Amino acid sequence: MTPDEQAEIKNAASLMIENCLSLIVSCALYGIYCLAFFISLGIYLKGRPSPMKKAMLCFVLFTFAMVTPYYVVFQGSPLIIIKHELMVSLPDGITAQITAANSQLLLEVFTDIKDCLCNLIVLLVDVVIVWRAWAMFRDSKIVKLLLVFLVVVDIGVTIADCVADTKNVKFFTVTLDWVQIIVSLSVNVVATCLIAIRAWMHRRSTRPFRMRTRKTQVEEVLILLVESGAIYALIQIASLIIRALDVDITSPTPVGTARGIIDQIYLYCASLNPVAISLLVQTQCTYYEHSSYLDDSHTLALALSQENKQENQHVFMAYTLEGDSVDDY
């Protein structure tokens, strides 16, 4: 066996170990996602339906319909490589088997589907995040124009990235992957900052009515949205950093392995975002139903005065219609 063959076998073994780690992480994350999805679906089905609630349910179902095929093709790609590298013997030896495994048409199809689904999932989550900010600033034309501009740019970059992935244009694929994450990060940061501004405005407007230090229900929901956006932004930044460090793409490296794991965490955190927020908001609503803070009728009457009612409706517009109570959600 020549030194070149030994090096190629070593690289193939390292790549196989990297794929196994990615499969384990993907299985764990998909299991967590499915658990959260079915819990959220059960809570949705038990409550009273409303148009906005149905719209959010459609987002969650559509995300699930894309995450599941992504999981299938992601798990199937390494299995194709293993089959043709180890289970199908060729007369020319292991080198020919590695070449045959990497040139399988089904593997290329799975890779294209996986890349397109990943881009579409991130785009859908960006739309959900923008939708929340839109609902809270629906009376501000400047904010709405800014959000529309960000969504249009996001859609354009996503379409271009999907086309580049299917055409296998390496330079444009790598560049658009960077641009897609940066645009998604920008959308998330802008929307999260807008929600944080709304939280500050709400806190300032209710300050004269506060009898206790406990936060109002609306404020708790706003803080949950801001915290989730901040965590998602940190994961996006980590993905950008690991991509910048992963400069050696010719052979498997620890940085490349870490990049594969972080990319999976990034995707499933994006998928979990609408589901997790729905669960957290519903949990907060249930908690406040039994809270002594709401038992104070004087404080409640002041906090829900006509001056603040319109602002509260903006917060829950992403989940309920005007006139629907928070308990209905």
- Mean pLDDT for 6-22 is 73
Helix (H, G, I), strand (E, B) or coil at 130: helix
Kindly report which listed range (107-121, 231-245, 281-295) carries the lowest average pLDDT score: 281-295
Q: Which of 274, 320, 272, 284 is nearest to 54 (CA)?
A: 320
In the chain, count of helices (H) and strands (E)?
A: 10, 0
* DSSP states of 50-83: -HHHHHHHHHHHHHHHHHHHHHHHHHHHHHHHHI
Helix (H, G, I), strand (E, B) or coil at 110: helix
The angle, 0 to 180 degrees and rounded to 10, between the axes of the packed helices 51-82 and 105-136 is 160
Can you tell me which residue has the tokens 């589901």? Answer: 275
All domains of the chain, ordered by start, with CATH?
A: 3-328 (1.20.1070)
**Residue 87 confidence class, pLDDT cut points 50, 70, 90:** low
More reliable by pLDDT, 110 or 27 = 27
- Mean pLDDT for 163-179 is 76
3-state secondary structure labels for all residues of 266-291: HHHHHHHHHHHHHHHHHHHHHHHHCC
Cα angle value 295/301/305 (rounded, 5°): 145
Q: What percent of the chain has pLDDT over 90?
A: 19
Q: Which long-range contacts (CB under 8 A, 24 or more apart) does 77-82 make?
A: 77/19, 77/107, 77/110, 77/111, 77/114, 78/16, 78/19, 78/20, 78/22, 78/23, 80/104, 80/106, 80/107, 80/110, 81/15, 81/16, 81/19, 81/107, 82/16
Q: Quick: pLDDT tens for 195-232.
A: 899 888 877 777 666 655 566 677 777 888 888 889 99
More reliable by pLDDT, 87 or 203 = 203
- Mean pLDDT for 122-147 is 88
Contact 22, 265 (CB under 8 A): no
What is the reported pLDDT for 291? 40
More reliable by pLDDT, 263 or 279 = 263
> For 17-47, b where at least 16 C-beta lie within 10 A, e where not — what string?
ebbeebbebbeebbeebeebbeebbeebeee
- Euclidean distance between CA atoms 54 and 109, whole angstroms: 34
Q: Quick: pLDDT tens for 27-76.
A: 999 999 999 899 888 877 776 766 767 777 888 888 899 999 999 888 87
Eight-class DSSP state of 237: H
Report the Cα 288 to chain-centroid distance in Å: 28
Burial class (CB in 10 A: 0-12, 13-18, 19+), 123: buried
Contact 83, 91 (CB under 8 A): no
Instruction: Provide the whole-model pTM.
Output: 0.77
List all residues 6 or more positions away from 162 whose beta carbon is below 8 Å from its beta carbon. Answer: 115, 116, 119, 120
Contact 125, 274 (CB under 8 A): yes
